[in-house]
């Protein structure tokens, strides 16, 4: 499975970014190989629609699971169509969150917050 997280830098022990839509990078961890790749978030400097654009990038990455501190309702609308599971991160670097998830210690993200623009059609 592939797990994706919003991160500050391109390193496994980097901090999780508190914003999903405007995170500078995403980390994509492959449980088969145990290795991580990183890519820039195309939405990090977008004037608008960042949550939507970031969610599209997440969908396109092929990830099945997202670990994030928060998620806006626009991004969530995009993610739920592919059945990506969304879990809430805990304090600590990215790699610790991966391990916590694999040990079953993370819980699903249950509060989706209102974005600046609300809702899809």
Partner 1 sequence: MKIAVLSGKGGTGKTMLSVNLAAVATPSTYVDCDVEEPNGYLFFKPEDVRPEIVSVLVPSADPNICNGCKECVRFCKFHALAHSGEHLIVFEDVCHSCGGCSLICPLNAITEHPRTVGVVESGRSGEVTIHTGRMNVGEAAGLPIIRKLMKKISESGQERIFIDCPPGSSCTVMESIRDAEFCVLVSEPTIFGAHNLEMIVELVRTFDKPFGVILNKRLDGEKDPSEEYCHRNCLPILGKIPFDHELGILNSEGKIASRENGRFFQMFKDIYDHITECVSI
Partner 2 sequence: MKQLLILSGKGGTGKTTLASAIIRLSEAKACADCDVDAPNLHLVMDYKGETERKDYYGLPKAFIDAGLCTHCGSCLEICRFEAVISGKKMHIDPRACEGCGLCERICPVGAIEMHPSVAGELRLLSDPEKGIFSTAQLKMGNGTTGLLVTEVKKQMIKASDNASLAVIDGSPGIGCPVIASITGVDMILIVTEPSLSGISDMDRILDTARRLGSDITVCVNKADTNQKMTEQIRDRCLQMDVPYTGEIPFDPEAVRIVNKGLTLADEKCPAGDAIRSVFENVMNIMNRR
Task: State the Cα–Cα distance between residues 47 and 35, nearest whole angstrom.
Answer: 33
Q: Which two tokens stand for residue 53?
A: 């654009």
Task: For the sheet with 35-40, list strands across it.
Answer: 35-40, 25-30, 2-7, 65-68, 85-88
Q: Does 120 bind partner 2 (CB under 8 A)?
A: no
Query: 35, 48, 64, 82: which one contacts partner 2 (CB under 8 A)?
Result: 48
Q: Which parts of 81-100 interact with partner 2 (CB under 8 A)?
A: none
Q: Which residues, in sequence order, are bridge partners of residue 101?
A: none
Q: Does 66 bind partner 1 (CB under 8 A)?
A: no
Q: Does 64 bind partner 1 (CB under 8 A)?
A: no
Residue 23 CB neighbours (<10 A) = 22
Q: Does 63 bind partner 1 (CB under 8 A)?
A: no
Contact pattern for partner 1 over residues 81 through 110, marking x by CB under 8 A: xxx---------------------------
Residue 100 CB neighbours (<10 A) = 16
Q: Which two tokens stand for residue 106?
A: 């993370």
The full length of the chain comes to 121
Contact positions toward partner 2, by CB under 8 A?
47-48, 114, 116-118
Contact positions toward partner 1, by CB under 8 A?
43, 46, 48-50, 52-53, 55-56, 59, 74, 77-79, 81-83, 117-121
């Amino acid at each position: 499975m592939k797990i994706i997280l919003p991160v500050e830098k391109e390193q496994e022990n980097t901090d999780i970014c508190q914003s999903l839509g405007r995170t500078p990078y995403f980390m994509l961890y492959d449980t088969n190989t145990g290795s991580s790749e990183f890519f820039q978030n195309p939405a990090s400097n977008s004037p608008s629609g960042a949550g939507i654009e970031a969610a599209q990038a997440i969908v396109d990455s092929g990830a099945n699971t997202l670990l994030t501190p928060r998620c806006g309702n626009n991004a969530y609308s995009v993610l739920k169509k592919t059945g990506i599971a969304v879990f809430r991160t805990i304090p600590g670097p990215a790699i610790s969150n991966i391990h916590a998830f694999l040990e079953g210690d993370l819980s699903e993200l249950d509060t989706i917050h209102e974005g600046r623009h609300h809702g899809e059609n």
